[in-house]
Structure 1
Amino acid sequence: MGRAADQDQARGQGGAAVRRRHVFYIPGYDPIHPRRYRELYRSESAAQAGISGYEIAQRPKQTGGPYGWHVTAHVEGAAVEADVEVLVWSDIVRDSMAASIPATYLQLLRTAWIYISTGALFRLMRLRKGPVIAALYPVGMLLLQLLLALGVGALLGFAAGGLAEWGFVPFLGAKALSIVGLLLYLGTFCAVSLLLLRWFKARDGTFFAYYLMHDYAYSAAARGANPPELEARITAFRQLISSAMEENAVDEVLLVGHSSGAHVGVSVLADLLREGLPETRPALGFLSLGQVVPMVSFLPEADRLRGDLRYLSASADITWVDVSAPGDGCAFALCDPVAVSGVAPSGKRWPLVISAAFTQTLSPARWKELRWRFFRLHFQYLCAFDQPGDYDYFKITAGPMTLADRYAGRQPSKSRIEAARSGYTSVRAP
C-alpha cells in the first residue's frame, strides 16, 4: 500500500472535514514551564491570522489532564475547535541540569568521548555540519570559559603573591614570605577562578553553554538508550493519546514533536500502534519539527529508537510529516530520520520530508533579522511566516483538514538526504 492509499485510509477514519481536533505537543529539551508555549501560540497565531486572513482565538482550557489551552478558529471557510495539550517532561530536564560546575565539565569529557569513540560524531558531520557545530559549541564555550577563569585567576594570584615579595609584610623572613606569597597566590587563584566560573554559569541564558551541554549529555548518558524516567514518561504520554483515540469526540488526534521531542514522539506513537488502535477512531497524525533524531539514533545503544523508527515508518495507521529547513542550524534539516539511521524497511511509507524553506517563507527583511539568531530560528516552525508557503503551523493545528489531507499528493523535498549514515543499525524487537 502506498502513501496515497494510506491517506485514503486516514480520511476514512477521521473524515476530510475536521471540526474538532486534539493536539498533543512534546517540547524539546526545555526546562521552562509550558506556559511559554501557550503564550507563543497565542501571539504567533494572531500574527499569522493577520497575515493570512483567517480568524483564531485562544482561551483557557476547561477540562482536566495536561497543561493546555482551547483554540477556536475560522480557517479556510470552516469553524474549527482544538484542544492543545503540552506533554511535559521539563521536570526531567530540570533534574538533569542540576549538575554542579565540576560535574558539568566531567559530562563534557564523557559526552565528547562517547560521540568520538563510537564514530557517531564523524558520521553526523557527513549529514549536516550545522547541528554538529551546534553540538561542538558548548564544548568550545565551556573550555573557553575555563581557560579565561584560570587565566584571570592566575594573573591576579601572581599579583597577590607578589605583595609579600614587594615588602608588604616586612616583619617576616624570606622563608615565611615565600609561604605567605604561595598561600596568597593559591587562595586568590582558586577564589577568582571559581567566581568567574560561577559568573559564566549565572549568565548561561546568554551563552547557552551549560544548557546545550546538559542536552547532549542527557542523550548520550546511556549511549542512546532512554533513561528509566524518560521511558516512564513515554508510557504516560502513550496512555494519554490512547485515551484521546478512544473518545471519538474529535476528528483528528495530532501529535507534534519539536526538536528532541520528535524522537520522544516516535517512541510514544510506536508503542501506541503496537498496542493497537480502536476500530472506530479519529485520524492520527504526527508532525515532527526541527528534529535532531540522528544525535540519538546514531549511538550504539539506541536500538529502542531505531526499532521504533523502523516500525512507525511502515505503518498504514498514521500520517507522518517531517518539517525542517536548511536555515535552521540546530536541526538535521531534510534528513529523513528513518533512512539516515539505516533502518528503512522495504515497505517504508513515512515520513514525508518537506522544507519550511525559511529563505522563501520569510521576507528578505525578516530573514535578515533572524538569520543569525540560531535558537530563535529553531523555534520558527511554531511561529508566523510573513510569506507563508504550504507549511502553516496554525492551519495544521486549527484548520479543517487532517494532516493526511493537507499534504495529500505533496512530493517530498528533492534535496532531502536519505543515504544511510549510522554505524549502528541494530533494533530492539517489540
Structure 2
Amino acid sequence: MDKPRQDVRTRRVFYIPGYDPIHPRRYRELYRKEGAAQAEISGYSIALKPKKTKGPYGWRVTAAMDGAVSAADVQVLVWSDIVRDSMSNSIPATYWQLARTAWTYIASGALRRLMLLRKGPVIAALYPVGMLLLQLLLALVVGWAGYAVVTALLSPWIGIVATGLGLALWAAAVVLVLRWVKGKDGKFFAYYLMHDYAYSAQHGGANPPELEARMAEFTDTIAAALRTPVDEVLIVGHSSGAHLAVSILADLIRQGRVPANGPKLAFLSLGQVVPMVSFLPKATRLRADLRYLSARDELTWVDVTAPGDGCAFALCDPVAVSGVAPADKRWPLVFSAAFTQTLSEARWKELRWKFFRLHFQYLCAFDLVRDYDYFRITAGPLSLASRYAGRKPSNSRIDIPVSKFTSIAA
C-alpha cells in the first residue's frame, strides 16, 4: 500500500476577515457547517473542538483525509470592533461619506481604471451610491406629497401658516423615511457597503492609524506562531482582509521574523478586492508591500477568485494590475475557483443572484469540488506549497498594469 502524502501534521491558521462588523463566532459556525458538508461530499472526516492556543478567537480542527491524520488551530484575527466604530455615523454623515468617496474615486481617475479590469466589483461599489441616492429621492418624494396635501387643504384658510406646516411635514417625512430604510439595511446593504468603501478611501488608500496599530498586533501574533513546533503557518485573507494580509506579511518578512528552519509560511488570498485600494493615489504602503511580497521566497502565495463572484476582482493579479510587479516576481499563483464548474447546476441556480453569499463561497462546500477545497487547505495533510506545486495559473488571468498610480513608499 502506498504511503499517504503528508508534509503537515500540525498547522496554525490565521483568518483575516474583510470589512465585517459581525462577531467571529460566525466564522466558526460557517466552518463547522460547511466543513461537515464538504466532508460528506468528498468522503473524508473533519471535526471541530475548542481551541488549545492562547490569543484570538478560534477553534481546533482534526481531520482524516486520504489515509493521513492532521490537526489545525484556526484563529480569527479580529478587527470587527474597528469596523463597527467606522459604521457608527449618522445618516447625514453617511451621505457626506458618499460625496467624499465618490469624489476620491472619480477625481483621481481610479474608477475609470478599475472599470478596465472587472465591471462586477465596480458595479458593486456604485450600488450603495445609487441605492442611497434612490432612498433620498424616495424620502423627498414622500415629503413633497405630504407638503402638497397639507398646503392644498389648509392654504385657503391660513395661507403662509399652511406653507410652514407643509415644509415641517416635508422635513419630518424625509427624516422618518431615511431612518426607516436605514433600519432595513440588513436587506439592502447600502449603508454597510458605503461605510466599507469610504473606510478604504478616507485617506486616499493609506491605512488609518487605528488599523495600522491592529495590523502590528497581528504581525506579532503570527511571528509568535512561527516560533512554535508546527509544520505550517497559513494566513487566509478574505475580501479586504487580503490586502491587510499583504502588508502584515510584508512587515513580518522585512522585520526578519520568519525563522529559516521554522514552519512553512503560506498565504491564501480569497475573493480579493486589492485594486479598490491599490489604485488610489496614497496607497503607497500597499503598493510597496505588494511589490515586495511578490518576490519573496519565504512564503507561498496563492490567490483564488471566481468570475461568478461579482464582488471580487476575479483573476486579476493584484501585483501586476497595480503596476508594481518586479522583474523577479514569483507570486501570487492566480487561479479560479470556477463556481460554474465546481457547483452543480442546481446549486449554482440557487446561489447565482445571491451576490454577498457568493462572495463567501470560497469558505464553503463545493458539490463538484476540483482542486480548490478550503477544508483540505486549512486542515489537510498537505502544505499550500505542496498542494499547488506545479499548478499553472489560469489562462484568463489579467496581469497587465492598469493603475494610474504606481508610486511606492520609500
Q: Give the TM interval when normalised to the shorter protein.
A: over 0.9
- Residue type of the alignment partner of 1:37: Y
5 Å-filtered alignment, 1:260-409, equals: 260-276=240-256, 277-409=258-390
Aligned residue for 1:288, secondary structure, equals strand
User: What is residue 69 of structure 1 aligned with on the other side?
Assistant: 59
User: What is residue 93 of structure 1 aligned with on the other side?
Assistant: 83
Shift of 1:64: 2.1
The question of whether the paired residues in 1 share the 8 Å contact of 2:52 and 2:73 is answered with: no
User: What is residue 123 of structure 2 aligned with on the other side?
Assistant: 133
> Within 2, Cα distance between the matches of 1:217 and 1:342?
23
The question of whether the paired residues in 1 share the 8 Å contact of 2:155 and 2:163 is answered with: no
Aligned residue for 1:25, secondary structure, equals strand
Aligned residue for 2:227, secondary structure, equals helix
- Residue type of the alignment partner of 1:155: A
Shift of 1:163: 2.6
- Please list the CA deviations of residues 273-321 of structure 1 after superposition, one character each: whole Å capped at 9, or x if unmatched: 0011223200000000000000000000000000000000000010000
> Within 2, Cα distance between the matches of 1:162 and 1:67?
61
> Within 2, Cα distance between the matches of 1:241 and 1:62?
16
Aligned residue for 1:226, secondary structure, equals coil
> Within 2, Cα distance between the matches of 1:208 and 1:306?
29
Aligned residue for 2:313, secondary structure, equals coil
The question of whether the paired residues in 2 share the 8 Å contact of 1:75 and 1:398 is answered with: no
5 Å-filtered alignment, 1:154-233, equals: 154-165=144-155, 167=157, 177-233=158-214
User: What is residue 59 of structure 1 aligned with on the other side?
Assistant: 49
Q: Which moved more, 1:183-192 or 1:378-387?
A: 183-192
The question of whether the paired residues in 1 share the 8 Å contact of 2:351 and 2:357 is answered with: yes
Shift of 1:78: 0.8
- Residue type of the alignment partner of 2:99: L
> Within 1, Cα distance between the matches of 2:344 and 2:187?
27
Shift of 1:187: 1.3
Shift of 1:212: 0.3
User: What is residue 120 of structure 1 aligned with on the other side?
Assistant: 110
> Within 2, Cα distance between the matches of 1:22 and 1:197?
45
- Give the counterpart of 1:240 among 208, 215, 221: 221
> Within 1, Cα distance between the matches of 2:28 and 2:47?
12
User: What is residue 259 of structure 1 aligned with on the other side?
Assistant: 239
> Within 2, Cα distance between the matches of 1:387 and 1:271?
38
State which structure, 1 or 2, has the greater radius of gyration over its C-alpha atoms. 1
Aligned residue for 1:146, secondary structure, equals helix
- Please list the CA deviations of residues 174-229 of structure 1 after superposition, one character each: whole Å capped at 9, or x if unmatched: xxx12220121011101111000000101100000000000000000000000000
How many equivalent residue pairs?
Answer: 405
- Residue type of the alignment partner of 1:427: I
Shift of 1:152: 0.6
Aligned residue for 1:246, secondary structure, equals coil
Aligned residue for 1:49, secondary structure, equals helix
> Within 2, Cα distance between the matches of 1:206 and 1:157?
29
Aligned residue for 1:29, secondary structure, equals coil
**1:306/1:16 Cα in 2 relative to 1: closer, same or farther (>3 Å)?**
farther
- Please list the CA deviations of residues 335-390 of structure 1 after superposition, one character each: whole Å capped at 9, or x if unmatched: 00000000000000000001000000000000011001000000000000000010
The answer to whether 1:146 aligns with 2:128 is no
Shift of 1:16: 5.1
TM-score calculated relative to the size of structure 1? 0.93
> Within 2, Cα distance between the matches of 1:209 and 1:278?
44
- Please list the CA deviations of residues 246-267 of structure 1 after superposition, one character each: whole Å capped at 9, or x if unmatched: 12x2100000000000000000
User: What is residue 412 of structure 1 aligned with on the other side?
Assistant: 393
The question of whether the paired residues in 1 share the 8 Å contact of 2:129 and 2:194 is answered with: yes
The question of whether the paired residues in 2 share the 8 Å contact of 1:342 and 1:425 is answered with: yes
Which ranges of structure 2 fall in alignment gaps of 5 or more residues?
none
> Within 2, Cα distance between the matches of 1:350 and 1:133?
28
Aligned residue for 2:11, secondary structure, equals strand
- Give the counterpart of 2:12 among 8, 17, 22: 22
- Residue type of the alignment partner of 2:369: P
Which ranges of structure 1 fall in alignment gaps of 5 or more residues?
1-14, 168-176
Percent identity of the aligned residues? 71
The question of whether the paired residues in 1 share the 8 Å contact of 2:6 and 2:68 is answered with: no
RMSD: 0.9
Higher RCO, Cα 8 Å, sep 6+:
1
TM-score calculated relative to the size of structure 2? 0.98
Aligned residue for 2:39, secondary structure, equals helix
Shift of 1:162: 2.4
- Residue type of the alignment partner of 1:23: V
- Residue type of the alignment partner of 2:31: Y
- Give the counterpart of 1:46 among 11, 36, 39: 36
The question of whether the paired residues in 2 share the 8 Å contact of 1:18 and 1:402 is answered with: yes
Q: Which runs of structure 1 show a deviation greater than 6 angstroms over 4 or more consecutive aligned residues?
A: none
Shift of 1:166: 5.1
Aligned residue for 2:226, secondary structure, equals helix
